[in-house]
Structure 1
Amino acid sequence: MCRIFGYFNAAVTPHAMRTVAALQRHGGPDATGVARGAGWGLGNNRLAVVGLDGGQQPYGRGGPVQVVFNGEIYNHEELRRRLEALGHVVPDRCDGSVLPALYLEYGDDFTEHLDGMYALALLDTRGAVPRLLLATDHIGMKPLYCRWHAADRSLHFSSELPALLGFGAAGGRVRESALDAFLATRTPFGTRTMYEDVEVLEPGTTWVCELGGLPRVRRREPQVPVVQEGPAGDGFTVARQVRRTLRHEVGRLLEADVPVAVITSGGLDSSLVTALAAEYGLQHTFTLAYRGSWPCDERHFAREVSDRARTVHHEVEIDPAGFPALLEETVWHLGQPNADPIALSTYALFRAIREAGFTVALTGDGADEVFGGYERMRRAAERAAAGAAWAPGYLDALSAVPAALRARLYTDAYRAHVATDPALPAAASEDLLHGPGTVLDRITRFELEQRLPAYHLRRVDHLSMASAVEARLPFCQRSVLSLGRPLPDHRRIQGGQVKRTLYAAAAGLLPDGVLSRPKQPFTLPVTAMLRPGTALWEYARDLLAPGRTAAAGRLDGRAVDALFAAQAERPDDTASLALWALLVHEVWDDQFRRSPRGSGAAGTVPGTAPLAVAA
């Protein structure tokens, strides 16, 4: 697991490469490697997880094919044996060391042989001019940010957006519609970022360019298998298939040359991963809680799961008084706004995992998208079945600020501007509203292909690697997707129950209290915490003062102030999440666009906030 960066058909100084490396060294503190040639450069920051004594990057240094790689290849031993039988020399047992030989054997299709999560950059100097290939995994677990300048045909890329800005050639222009996209979908979707000149390489994509030429971009395959019929058998048989497949993947993802833990929130998904990991001898679980008494406290459920799995359980407790400083750190590492309040807790949790001595952590992310776990999915499917309009409610549930409230918050000029630049990519919106399949099938496709990589996976990647922890996601493995994605509607959601197949797969493995509890999101109780008298409230009031929010001409300061008044009088989930999202955007604006307000200047990492860990 690493951070990667580089440039192509450009002139970049060694100082700039050092700057970019320094800006994402938190994700790869074990080594830094750089290779440069005429018009190109590759670099990486290494986090050693497999083959600790080898794995120097770029792989293939000095040879005709050099590779920098971020991620984990779970079938690397099988690939190594195959390549060596074909006469290739693989220098060590690090997973990424197979990549140059794999490319030499299979060409651009070498990614078809990879089982894992990755973003990589490969330079081939065998031709008359150097050739660069970029590639991402099937579902976007490892993002890659790119700035392609069409006029001079130059490229800069990196694993993290703040690092990309370190090149000095990217991120100069923020999209005028970026605020609306953020509020409408909680973070920019598709290839878009907050910046006009920076994009994210889509999942399952190969980007190829010869020095001085134009790039060719190819979507290699659907992110998830397209199957017309679900797994054969009755509900019990399918659930058993899911359990068996998930058990196998959890076992594979526990393999590492460093200590491994599991995040256990107390919900179904992470609890099932915990129970299966315990079968392989996993010993440590982590969960997060907040100091004081707050709604939605799940720590007792997590403790039940830990007790049943017989793990050493660590409760990470964070103090809400430290939220302002923690928010600045979190936003800096994300590089662009993400409206999920759990981002704060995610950052603190991974930091505690690293401080406790663990380098790898398994999580339950992706299960809701694959198996139909969100309440908004259930509501939309039920409304569609009743012949009622489902799309407006579903889209509002996706948003940080519902459409009607956004309209009240915007100035007339900004409201007119965003009407011409919708937040959702046009193709994604068309497929969601009018594509093939049932409403639930279209929603599942949208959740997996659009929302999961943009909103969840980038957040998990950035906030885990901020503390040099590799997050591994069993539910995002191809074999699990191939079972969950094609399930018929009734095996995902029916009779008010979500994730029916996954609950059936977990039967007998988890405490009854966990299996029968009402579903709730693993999140920060922002409605209760954002109230007069708290540190978070005072911080938000300061940053979202009417004159300050109105200065850019997009928001009506009086309308934002009315939100505070409504939240103070009668705390409400809609108002609190809207204020939280506006606060996150304002912090991001401070970090990356304005001159600094104390700590958190652009290009620097803010100070740390306190937390406590109990075993």
Structure 2
Amino acid sequence: MCRIFGSFATRVTRPELAEVSARQRHGGPDEHGTLVGPGWSLGCDRLAVTDPAHGRQPYRLASVPGVLVVLNGEIYNHHELRRRMAARGHRIPGACDGQVLPALYAEYGADFAAQLDGMFAIAVVDVRPGGPPQLVLAVDDMGMKGIYYHSGSGGSGGSGSGGGVRFASELPALLAFRDVPADPREEALDSVLATRTPLGEATALRGVRTLPPGATAVATGAYGLRVHRRTPRAPAPRGDARTVLRREVRRLARADVPLCAITSGGLDSGLVTALAAEHARAVGAPPPHSFHLTYRGRWPGAEHGYARAVARRAGTVHHQVELDPAEFAELLPRAVQHLGQPNADPITLSTYALFRAVREAGFTVALTGDGADELFGGYDRVRAALAAPPGADWVSPYVEALAAVPRPLREWLYTPAYRALIADRGSDSERIAADLRAAPTARIATVTGFETRHRLPAYHLRRVDHLSMAWAVEARMPFCQPAMAALAGRLPAAARTGKRALYAAGRGLVPEAVLRRPKQPFTLPLGAMLTAGSPLMELARDTLSPGRVHHDGRLRADRVQALLARQAARPTDTTALAVWALLVHELWRGQPAAGSVPVRVAA
């Protein structure tokens, strides 16, 4: 697991590269390597997980001089690939997973990523004699690891002409390249309020994009970056949900560094925790450690009792991490900074604090339950959409459920000029609704396709990656493996809705109390915490001051103040989430990653 960066078909300076590396070194504190050639650069900040004593990056092999590779992530089938490459004459030293990549690229070219099983973001610079220099970028099928890039051709994915490419694992690091501007998109505020974060390949900054899940991108000196989507790996699942998940947990529980499990108190993380403990017993290893985050004091929706029950049943060494709400005003700006662009889910603060505790306890790898809701239809909005009768409008309520701020409230908060701008350019929610209505697939395939291909990588996996790596922790996600995705895709609609297949898998593994409890997300009890006089409310009042809001030009300052007063007088979850989304966006807007400049909307 690492942070990677580089450039192609453009000149950069070593001080630039040093600054890029420094801005994401929190995720790769163990080793740093950079190579620079005519018109290209490649670098890595390494978090040493597999074969920690070896595997220095960028990777190079004597058998393929001129092929240079950096990897962020884990390649789980590297032993099999190593044997295959050795049979073709490649001598691969050490036991690090990424050392096989130069040989794999030499054999398969830009199609090499189709051979990989893992979570990865990879950059290859090919400067072998006899062919044009080439840059290849690739990310895994689920989007567990990502790449931000800026292309001189505009980064549209088309065949632009002559544009240099700069890329990095984190957006603030990418902005350290002097030719990458911090230019916020006017529509980004509406994206945050309507879908909680920018979805798809666009980011909150103009000209900065991310590779979509399962994408490979190629650039040569004659063309900008050209992006195409690979056919996803779809192994035939063998067995039921418990059998497949057990196999994935055991594969991902192998590590050369200390490993733990995240235990929220819900079904998904409970299954992963139980199976990780089962695996430890099977191989004669000590019981794994489990981590749960709660909040000091008494708050509604506390889950620590359920998490303790999971830990007792599984036999883990359990850590209950208590976060003091007095820390929120200090921690939230840091979490927003690490994310690089705004994400309005209150879980960001909890996630950031939880991985801090994991790292401070000495763990480098954590197993999590992320991805289960998207693959197995766990969200209320999904169940409601699938339950709507034929002919009913299921799309409108589904899209509205994605929002941090309901549409009428958004339009009430916007200035007339900003309302006109969004009406002219169209909102993300309108585009999503149009795409869902036009989809040719059955409703369950349409909904789960949107959840897994668009919302999961941008909203969920990107958050987990950035906030775990903020503390140099590698988060591994058994539910996001190809075998689990293939299993979910082959289930009948009834078994894929409401996570029925996972509830069946949990019987006998997790406590009955966890199976019977209503679904509850791991997040802040925001409505109870964002109240008059609380640390969060004071941070919101300071950050959303009338002067700052008016200077930006997109929100009516008087109505933002009215919203704050409403939440202080009559706290509700809906109003609290609206305030939170505005707070997160404004904290982001004030940071260097957003340029620290107002977005001027013409009247």
TM-score (norm 1): 0.91
Q: Distance in 2 between matches of 1:296 and 1:446?
A: 29
1:416 aligned residue: 420
Matched, 1:568 2:568: yes
CA RMSD between the two structures: 1.9
The alpha-carbon distance between structure 1 residues 130 and 386, as it changes in their structure 2 partners (threshold 3 A), is: closer
Q: Distance in 1 between matches of 2:459 and 2:450?
A: 12
1:199 aligned residue: 209
Q: Is the 8 A contact 1:50 1:95 kept in 2?
A: yes
- Which residue among 74, 91, 94 is the counterpart of 2:93? 91
Q: Alignment partner of 1:531: what SS?
A: coil
* Deviation, structure 1 residue 553: 1.4
2:495 aligned residue: 491
Q: Distance in 2 between matches of 1:66 and 1:596?
A: 36
The alpha-carbon distance between structure 1 residues 276 and 594, as it changes in their structure 2 partners (threshold 3 A), is: closer
Q: Distance in 1 between matches of 2:264 and 2:594?
A: 37
1:294 aligned residue: 299
What is the letter of the counterpart of residue 137 of structure 1?
D
Q: How does 1:49-198 map to 2 (within 5 A)?
A: 49-60=49-60, 63-126=65-128, 127-150=130-153, 153-198=163-208
Q: Is the 8 A contact 1:185 1:423 kept in 2?
A: no
Q: Is the 8 A contact 2:340 2:593 kept in 1?
A: no
Q: Which moved more, 1:212-221 or 1:168-177?
A: 212-221
1:608 aligned residue: none
Q: Distance in 2 between matches of 1:212 and 1:433?
A: 39
Q: Is the 8 A contact 2:235 2:483 kept in 1?
A: no
Matched, 1:9 2:9: yes
Q: Is the 8 A contact 1:381 1:439 kept in 2?
A: yes
Q: How does 1:375-386 map to 2 (within 5 A)?
A: 375-382=380-387, 384-385=388-389
Number of positions where the alignment pairs a residue of Structure 1 with one of Structure 2: 581
1:613 aligned residue: none
Q: Which moved more, 1:2-11 or 1:437-446?
A: 437-446
Q: How does 1:473-552 map to 2 (within 5 A)?
A: 473-493=477-497, 498-552=498-552
Q: List gaps (5 residues or longer) in structure 2.
A: 154-160, 281-286, 598-603
* Deviation, structure 1 residue 427: 7.5
Matched, 1:208 2:210: no
1:423-462 C-alpha deviation (Å, 9 max, x unpaired) = 4398755442221233232111100000000000000000
Q: Alignment partner of 1:420: what SS?
A: helix
1:459 aligned residue: 463
What is the letter of the counterpart of residue 318 of structure 1?
L
1:127-149 C-alpha deviation (Å, 9 max, x unpaired) = 34311101110010001000001
Q: Is the 8 A contact 1:432 1:442 kept in 2?
A: yes
Matched, 1:374 2:376: no
Q: Distance in 2 between matches of 1:425 and 1:6?
A: 34
What is the letter of the counterpart of residue 567 of structure 1?
Q
What is the letter of the counterpart of residue 131 of structure 1?
Q
2:254 aligned residue: 255
Q: Distance in 2 between matches of 1:572 and 1:279?
A: 42
What is the letter of the counterpart of residue 260 of structure 1?
L
Q: Distance in 1 between matches of 2:564 and 2:218?
A: 50
The alpha-carbon distance between structure 1 residues 163 and 576, as it changes in their structure 2 partners (threshold 3 A), is: same
What is the letter of the counterpart of residue 400 of structure 1?
A
The alpha-carbon distance between structure 1 residues 393 and 511, as it changes in their structure 2 partners (threshold 3 A), is: same
- Which residue among 329, 339, 344 is the counterpart of 1:324? 329
Q: Is the 8 A contact 1:33 1:44 kept in 2?
A: yes
* Deviation, structure 1 residue 61: 6.6
* Deviation, structure 1 residue 108: 1.7
* Deviation, structure 1 residue 125: 1.1
Q: Distance in 2 between matches of 1:330 and 1:446?
A: 26
| Superposed structure 1 runs of 4+ greater than 6 Å apart | 593-597
Q: List gaps (5 residues or longer) in structure 1.
A: 232-237, 598-615
Q: Which moved more, 1:408-417 or 1:210-219?
A: 210-219
Q: How does 1:240-319 map to 2 (within 5 A)?
A: 241-281=240-280, 282-319=287-324
Q: Alignment partner of 1:132: what SS?
A: strand
